[in-house]
Amino acid sequence: MKKLIYLIVLCSAIGLIFNSCEKLNMLGEPIDNEFGTPGPLASQAPPPWPLVTVDAAGQSLTLWPYTGTDLTDTPQDPVNLIFIGQADPRDLRAALLSLDGDRTAYGIPSEFPFNCTWNDAMGDVQAAYGEPDGWVANAIQLECGMYDQVRFHLRLFRAGDWTIGNCHFEFLIPGTTEHQVLSWELAEQLVTVDFMRSGLLDETTPIIPAVGINDSPWSEIPSYIYNELPVELRLLIGGPPDDVTEPVPIWTDGNATILNLAQAVDWTPEVVQQNLTIIYNQVVPKPFCADGPYQYIYVQGPVYLDQEVRLKANGKLTSSFYANGTLQATPVDPTTDPPTPIGETYEAKVRQRQRTMINDRTSMGYYFIHQTEIPQDVPYRGQLIVEMQIGPGEDNHYSIDVQCGQEE
């Protein structure tokens, strides 16, 4: 297992390792306004490509059949759920949070994680696109399961009277804050079952297929991760039962399930808080300024994750997420056992801030990432600043600024 953890950390992206949770401008001064201002290389985002049109219950929606991590047409996750009718994301959240974990009537075993209940989720802000609203953020995201084990993770994006969704079944890669998607279809089926259990679906046309809107299969599971999965789980996600030498494609039929809701669950004002501490003690790929000899670093120290979701009586729902920590980073040669230090240890400031909001009129999403190596004005060190704001209307921007010390 130790070898698996090392390989996973070595080969996976690092996510929150150097992310900042204090919102600053380019001079390092705090930004007082709620969603900030565009930074260097910022631009208003054009529509992505391709767009598809889906029809349901006499209505139609033109959308990008994927979600993204920036405001380009680089896809991240496939859209596999679409909601109409009483389909505001706050309605969907209330419906799922009201359910228990007993799915045995639908042939789903009463075992974790399949007997999980839904809660608000920590996760990155993503973007979706639907006309005429344009780019929209996932104002709400939910999980069934546990962040630090396995979970079903659902992101919801309001697009006019519709809501666009992606759900996936994933597990936390040991020793990191990264999750590996295992299945799109299993998650789509679980959400469909839960809305069938809710009793809120329209009796005449409860479920409508949106056929062939995205590519199949989508993404893949690295072989060194797949080979550690139990055979029962491999079969459950539609993979080969035997060990593999190549990545395993993640199966999807390319369709989305449209759920038509005729009723809604009342919202209840509440404040939900979550706190996690991730202790790093791993070799990871250097996230930026890695063009020189220092491609990997050994990182030690805690990163603190905090989230608050607040639903007010007037229906305004906000989610605030922070990650922050000061880590010790040492450049290493990862090909030796144990990895050999090849440079001096230095501090790495890790900070990230995210905020989403949805009310009766609009929805917004914002994230700010600041990764700083100290001192940053020496060769092969520097800082990375990423900022994205989504909504409302044309008030969208994405910027990235990398500053590296000059080689001697």
What would the pLDDT profile of 264-291 be if each residue is shown by its tens digit?
999 999 999 999 998 888 888 898 999 8
pLDDT score for 278: 85
Q: How far is residue 28's CA from residue 394's CA, in Å, rounded to a whole number? A: 27
**Long-range contacts, 28-36 (Cβ 8 Å, 24+):** 34/355, 34/366, 35/355, 35/364, 35/366, 35/389, 36/366, 36/368, 36/387, 36/389
Q: Does residue 100 sit in helix, strand or coil?
A: coil
Report in angstroms the alpha-carbon separations of 369 from 15, 32, 86: 10, 16, 35
pLDDT score for 408: 54
pLDDT score for 13: 31
Q: How far is residue 198's CA from residue 176's CA, in Å, rounded to a whole number? A: 35
Domain ranges for the chain: 44-261, 270-404
What would the pLDDT profile of 28-48 be if each residue is shown by its tens digit?
333 333 333 434 444 468 899
pLDDT score for 5: 33
pLDDT score for 362: 92
Report in angstroms the alpha-carbon separations of 316 from 24, 197, 313, 391: 26, 27, 7, 16
pTM over 0.85? The answer is yes
* Stretches in the chain below the pLDDT threshold 50: 1-43
